[in-house]
């Protein structure tokens, strides 16, 4: 008689939502494609614009999700911050751009890439007087300025590398403004996990998996390039590499003390100014 086989342990499925931008797709490529050990878990991905993910998070649609820090501050009762996978850094903040370098008037029509994006939060922290802010998807902002639909707009992601091709000029780098005000990196986006998962003890495990996936992606970018380009708004390899160089860094591996201080400062200042 043959020996009894050990029962196959079922793996726990987790939903994972992130944006189509190169910094997110390179971070999660290895995790989703069997290139790092995911242990007892499987991941079901959902990819969409970060503001869409911000809005879904208010209904707890996904167990693990990319969030703008502005959204995370509003959702701390539902989500906990993961130490890996975040987008923070120096020289990587949103830009306010327009057809001229003139400061827009209070009544100027200014596009922002989502109500709950950190870009929108920074604009309000820098200048709370704008009365005509329109929320739109990030990829529509530069064409909107070019066509005259918007007087100015706050651009994120690949936009900072291509805005001049739309006839736009930088008015202010909101990241540089933040750094001058605080001496800290600008916290842009994070990966957060629903608090109801914590009893399963998976938070630290997922953080380790994401960290390994980041390390794998940065060690050999060619492996993930097809996946990254399949989702990116910009297909030029140089733009993609510049994007990854800027937004995937040591803070993506671990927030560290400096990252934690930056996040706390952004939240504290937003609360002090009555935005949160």
The average pLDDT across 117-140 equals 95
At 174-219, the pLDDT tens digits run 999 999 999 999 999 999 999 988 766 789 999 999 999 999 999 9
Catalytic member of 29, 33, 120, 157: 157
Q: Work out the average pLDDT over 136-163.
A: 93
CATH 1.20.120.330, applies to 95-182: no
Q: Provide DSSP, the chain.
A: -PPPPPPPPPPEEEEEEE-SSHHHHHHHHHHHTTSS--TTEEEEEEE--HHHHHHHHTTT--SEEEEEHHHHHHTTTTEEE-SSS-EEESS---EEEESSSSPPPTT-EEEES-TTSHHHHHHHHH-TT--EEEE--GGGHHHHHHHTS-SEEEE-TTHHHHGGGGT-EEEEEHHHHHHHHHSSPEEEEEEEEEGGGGGGT-HHHHHHHHHHHHHHHHH-HHHHHHHHHHH-S---HHHHHHHHHHHSSHHHH--HHHHHHHHHHHHHHHHHTT--
Output the pTM of the full model: 0.93
How big is the CA angle at 123 (ends 194 and 165), to the nearest 5 degrees?
A: 105
Whole-number pLDDT of residue 241:
92
* Phi (first) and psi of residue 112, to 5 degrees: -125, 150
Give the angle 157-162-164 at the CA atoms, nearest 5°.
135
Yes or no: say if 64 and 17 are a contact pair by the CB < 8 Å rule.
yes
Residue 158: band (very low, low, confident or very high) from pLDDT cuts 50, 70, 90 = confident
User: Can you give the residue ranges of every domain in the chain?
Assistant: 12-89+185-272, 95-182
Residue 4 pLDDT level (bands cut at 50, 70, 90): low
Phi, psi of 17 (to 5 degrees): -115, 135
How much of the chain, in percent, has pLDDT values that exceed 70? 96
Token pair in block for residue 83? 């130490």
pLDDT tens per residue across span 53-94? 999 999 999 999 999 999 999 999 999 999 999 999 999 999
pLDDT at residue number 159: 83
Tell which wins on pLDDT, 126 or 157.
126
One fold for 12-89+185-272 and 95-182: yes
Query: Are the C-beta atoms of residues 192 and 64 closer than 8 Å to each other?
Result: yes
Crossing angle, helix 22-32 and helix 203-219, to 10 degrees?
Answer: 110
Q: Give the architecture-level CATH label for domain 12-89+185-272.
A: 3-Layer(aba) Sandwich (3.40)
DSSP lists the bridge partners of residue 256 as none
Has 33 been annotated as catalytic? no
Q: How much is the average pLDDT of 238-254?
A: 94
What is the distance between the alpha carbons of residues 156 and 141, in angstroms, rounded to a whole number?
Answer: 10
Supply the pLDDT for residue 1.
Answer: 46
What share of the chain in percent tops pLDDT 90? 86
């Amino acid at each position: 008689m043959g020996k009894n086989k050990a029962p196959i342990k079922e793996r726990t499925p987790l939903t994972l939502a992130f944006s189509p931008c190169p910094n997110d797709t390179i971070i999660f490529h290895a995790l989703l494609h069997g290139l790092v050990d995911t242990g007892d878990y499987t991941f079901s991905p959902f990819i969409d614009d970060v503001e869409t993910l911000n809005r879904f998070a208010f209904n707890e649609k996904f167990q693990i999700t990319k969030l703008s820090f502005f959204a995370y501050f509003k959702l701390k009762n539902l989500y906990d911050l993961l130490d890996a996978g975040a987008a923070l850094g120096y020289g990587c903040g949103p830009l306010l751009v327009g057809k001229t370098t003139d400061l827009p008037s209070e009544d100027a029509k200014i596009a922002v890439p989502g109500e709950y994006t950190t870009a929108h939060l920074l604009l309000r922290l820098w200048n709370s007087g704008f009365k005509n802010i329109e929320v739109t998807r990030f990829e529509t902002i530069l064409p909107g300025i070019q066509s005259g639909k918007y007087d100015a707009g706050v651009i994120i992601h690949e936009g900072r590398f291509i805005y001049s091709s739309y006839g736009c000029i930088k008015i202010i780098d909101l990241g540089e403004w933040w750094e001058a005000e605080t001496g800290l990196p600008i916290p842009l986006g994070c990966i957060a996990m629903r608090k109801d998962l914590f009893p399963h003890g998976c938070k630290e495990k997922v953080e380790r998996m994401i960290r390994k996936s980041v390390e794998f992606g940065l060690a050999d970018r060619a492996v993930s390039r097809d996946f990254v380009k399949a989702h990116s708004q910009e297909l030029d390899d140089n733009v993609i590499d510049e994007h990854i160089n800027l937004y995937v860094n040591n803070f993506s591996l671990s927030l560290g003390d400096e990252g934690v201080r930056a996040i706390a400062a952004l939240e504290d200042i937003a609360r002090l100014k009555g935005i949160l």
